[in-house]
Amino acid sequence: MRRIAVFTALDGTLLDARTFEAGSAIATIERLRAARVPVVPVSVMTLDEIAPVADALGLRDVMIVEGGGAIARWNGKTWEVEPCGPPADALLDVVREIEERSGANLLVYSALPDRDASLLSGRSGEMLRASTDRQFSEPFVIESGDLDAIRAAAAKLGFSIRRGRRFFHLCRGCDEGDAAMRVRDELGCDWMIALGGSLLDAEFLSRANVAILVPGPDGDVDAELRTALPRARIAPAPAPGGWAAAVEEAFRSAAVRPRAGAGSPARR
């Protein structure tokens, strides 16, 4: 019987992009848990942001946080964190070097005033505080400058620039794709369903057996992501309803049915 895992982005993919609620996806997650199907968050969010979500949804396996900057594993009492790349302080130096080389002005999310950070991220209160306390990543927005020049400067420093739903991200080393494959092997899974909605998510979506693109709040799929993954499935609606419908359909489809003679993985 296939051992299936679901890897999913959170902000705007599993969680509503405005309320950060899981809504109608909760029932689907509960069915996956009952079937012992791991649900693995893969997110640019920090551990402090994701932990309350994971607790509320009963997710107690492993999480990929800060865009692949670290892997967090549940040890039965708390989350143990394994860094997978340079710390945030080192990334700040890289951002400054990129500015000098490209002539751009980059606004680092963690250094923004609370009001500006809230407007850009949609977060407030404790969630805002948790989101700006970066340990392994430094999301940014471009105040001025040419994106191609910024990418060229980053490449000379050994980094790439990838776009998420709300910010740009520096990536190097164990990105979301590499981290997802490590986690998949740790879980002993041989079939991976992956859901995401931004170009940054292409890194792990491209490694999946079934890749699903979740539309944004406006109902449109990210055009660049769709170009990057032309064979991916499209969820029928934005998060969280579209996530739930797409996952349920993936388990009903012939592509992820267990081998002949086995019971349904969603019901075993």
Which architecture characterizes domain 4-83+178-254 according to CATH? 3-Layer(aba) Sandwich (3.40)
User: How many secondary structure helices (H) and strands (E) does the chain include?
Assistant: 10, 12
What's the pLDDT score for residue 175?
79
CB of 221 within 8 A of CB of 215?
yes
Determine the pLDDT at residue 221: 97
What was the pLDDT predicted at 174?
Answer: 53
Q: What is the pLDDT of residue 250?
A: 94
CATH superfamily label, 88-171:
Putative mannosyl-3-phosphoglycerate phosphatase; domain 2 (3.30.980.20)
Q: How far apart are CA 164 and CA 22, in angstroms?
A: 20
At residue 65, φ and ψ (nearest 5 deg) are -115, 160
- pLDDT for position 256: 53
CA distances (Å), 264 to each of 31, 32, 260, in order? 12, 12, 10
SS3 category, 262: coil
Q: pTM score, two decimals?
A: 0.89
Distances (CA, A) of 183 to 23, 73, 186, 246: 26, 10, 5, 22
pLDDT along the chain (268 residues), means of 10: 91 94 96 94 96 95 93 96 90 95 96 95 95 93 96 93 90 80 95 95 94 96 96 98 96 57 34
Q: What distance in Å separates the CA atoms of residue 67 and residue 169, rounded to the nearest whole number?
A: 8
* Per-residue pLDDT, 106: 97
The predicted pLDDT at position 37 comes to: 94
Q: What tokens does 83 get? A: 């860094």
Q: What is the pLDDT of residue 160?
A: 87
> Which residue ranges make up each domain of the chain?
4-83+178-254, 88-171
* 221 SS3 class: coil
How distant, in Å, are the alpha carbons of 29, 84, 95, 138 from that of 12? 16, 24, 26, 20
Residue 11 identity:
D
